[in-house]
Structure 1
């Protein structure tokens, strides 16, 4: 599955939070109990022990950003496991639970921490962990991580890629200021509500093709976002310029985003794929798409079949058939299961000199 960059940017913006009155679990509150259906890997955790610190990270096999965060979580696990840290990869919202053990097995040494499936919650689609942790905390997107300190208190909630070693060291040492973190979390939730309204204004302006209102909304969002997160506004701006058919400016932003994120294979892949396939784009910069896709391949060390598939598409669209076939073969070689079948079908199409069905 290919995600557009727009989808990734808006996932953080449009599913920011529930109404404040609906949120019943916050930083500083006692952690809910663990209600897992099955432990797929590692020794089962029956309850939170006072001499341990826990990361409970919610993820799913279909979630691209979740896959990106796994190596970081594994590094934290390996570094702090002997100091009292227990990492739990809590699978939620899974579309096909049979894929989870296969995924974990394939990850091998890249994912050595505990992994659990969510317990069913009657006839509801969401499991017990999704309801009592994610929904209760107003967290509507994954990956999301919760840090539980030695007192069984929620010390931190956020995206696992922003969870740093310094914070964990303080929690493990018992010196982390939970009260301060709780106050900061409360303030952050308030700003999220305002930001959510701003992004809705932007979406409405985009639908109405009111570019002035769209730009005003982006400026407002820039004021609300922390400086470290303002770069995410480049993608809404990119999509606005695409909608305006200002391709020169749009591709200028694409270059900036790509050059500033050379180690982010997922972003490079998503950006290149959007340039190649977004039906709203009438003038495609195929050379730029190839450059960006190559950066994704380099960042993933030629081991990600989806990114190799994107590069092959960029090559094929430029008439570089032989190189496209060679690259697509690499994508097939590093894949398995249903993905391998789909990639092989694409390879067969390239050999016939045409795009696969549905991608014309």
Structure 2
């Protein structure tokens, strides 16, 4: 059964109620907001506090919020419930509504799946007659809820258009997910059977079907160059990946493409150096053109490290050191990085610097300060 606007609301069947009295059925005359969330979901945590504000604001308008924790992580229901209880003890003192816990999957099966909702947070609004009148992200409620309370939303063209758009987007995502799963399944079976030719054919088809998925392009190149070692096929694929990376104006594409050219793990030793470095030169120039080492406002530790490795592989050690040093300096720019994450990237960057610097090179003056 599909769950959409004007559908009867499914029952709430949960394993336990953490806060408030159990809700056995939706009371006629009351408007309910049923919000699916989890404590590990950053967006959920932000919205759950906003729902408390909405509950307080509309408390005298017969509006009730019901938060359903149906995606808590844990190897057992007890472990998941413990995580939820601990979070609520620490952070949930201001939450002024019912909170339910369900590890069984029943709520997902009866609410999320039929409505084509695949992500959290997701909110359902049940009108005063027990019918679903809104499905979507909780942040949309700031605009929608006043119209629901005054009775103008349900019959509006805006409501019908919003529901139709939500369904169209969900169906499109489902088709894309099915295509992706079919592609990786076909690739996996071929590789398991050691049938590189079939895998390469599937990858080529995948690039046509999913042209904006960088991972499909990467596996296409990897199969051609590193599995089959077909230079006649692989070099054009590598060149096309580089051209696509430049044309898409995507830092992710550029970084991934240049890593394919210079990452030692890619085993490019059998790829002609002249071809490999000619392709990399153009990519490196486009990445660095995003801004000067000292002036670009974005973080440089990802893109500059990739270019630094290319420079090192191509014999320009000085440039590699310069870029790696710039990447170290950028770890807290434009804003400080969490200490654990910073320590991780510093280890990688300093290891790279140690490799790039020759025996006579002076120690990088910013290294000790960066470690502080």
TM-score, L = length of structure 2:
0.55
Conservation of the 8 A alpha-carbon contact between 2:38 and 2:71: yes
Deviation of the 1:60 alpha carbon: 1.6
Alignment pair present for 1:174 and 2:216: no
Q: Indicate how the Cα distance of structure 1 residues 324 and 215 shifts in structure 2: closer, same or farther if over 3 A, else same.
A: closer
Structure-2 separation of matches of 1:27 and 1:281: 54
- Residue of structure 2 equivalent to 1:18: none
Out of 69, 87, 90, which is 1:106 matched to?
Answer: 90
Judge which range, 279-288 or 68-77, deviates more.
Answer: 279-288
- Paired with 1:72 and 1:87, the residues of 2 have a C-alpha distance of 11
Displacement of 1:174: 2.0
Per-residue CA shift, 1:130-172, capped at 9, x if unaligned? 1100111111222211122212221211222x32323111112
Offset of residue 272 of structure 1: 7.1
Q: Summarize the Cα distance change of 1:46–1:195 in structure 2 as closer, same or farther, 3 Å threshold.
A: closer
RMSD: 4.1
Aligned to 2:121: 143
Deviations 1:199-242 (A, max 9, x none): 85122345436548967997xxxxxxxxxxxxxxx9xx342222
Give yes or no for contact 2:255–2:306 (8 Å, CA) kept in 1: no
Matched, 1:30 2:16: no
CA shift in 2, pair 1:198/1:130, >3 Å: closer
* Aligned residue pairs, count: 252
Larger radius of gyration: 2
**CA displacement, residues 265-322 of structure 1 (integer Å, 9 cap, x when unaligned):** xxxxxx979949x99995763444412443x8xxxxxxxxxx4544566788686768
Q: Of 18, 23, 26, which residue of structure 2 is paired with 1:48?
A: 26
Q: Which residue of 2 aligns with 1:208?
A: 220
1:81-124 deviation line (CA, Å, top 9, x unaligned):
2322211221113222211011111113343332110162xxxx
Q: Which residue of 1 aligns with 2:192?
A: none
Spell out the pairing of 1:39-118 with structure 2 (5 A cutoff): 39-96=17-74, 97=80, 98-118=82-102
Structure 1 residue 290 corresponds to structure 2 residue 267: no
Q: 1-side partners of 2:101 and 2:110: how far apart?
A: 14
Cα separation, 2, equivalents of 1:281 and 1:92? 45
Gaps of 5+ in 1: 1-22, 121-126, 219-233, 254-258, 260-270, 297-306, 326-360
**How far apart, CA to CA, are the structure 2 residues paired with 1:216 and 1:195?**
27
Quick one: structure 1 residues 174 and 115, their matched pair in 2 at CA, closer, same or farther if it must change by over 3 Å? same
Separation in structure 2 between the aligned mates of residue 101 and residue 207 of structure 1, nearest angstrom? 43
Report the 3-state secondary structure (helix = DSSP H, G, I; strand = E; otherwise coil) of the residue aligned with 1:243: helix
- List aligned pairs for 1:223-302, cutoff 5 A: 237-245=250-258, 249=287, 252=290, 275=302, 285-294=327-336
Where 2:125 maps in the other structure, the secondary structure is: strand
- 1:32, 1:132 within 8 Å by CA — same for their partners in 2? yes
2:132 corresponds in structure 1 to: 154
Aligned-pair CA distance for 1:42? 2.3
Tell me how far apart the structure 2 counterparts of residues 275 and 151 of structure 1 sit (CA, whole Å): 54
Q: What TM-score comes out, normalization by structure 1 length?
A: 0.57
Q: Which has the higher contact order (CA 8 A, sep 6+)?
A: 1
| Cα separation, 2, equivalents of 1:273 and 1:78 | 44
Find the residue that maps to 1:163 and give its secondary structure: helix
- 2:31/2:127 contact within 8 Å kept: yes
Query: 2:163: which partner in 1?
Result: 185
1:66 Cα deviation (Å)? Answer: 1.9
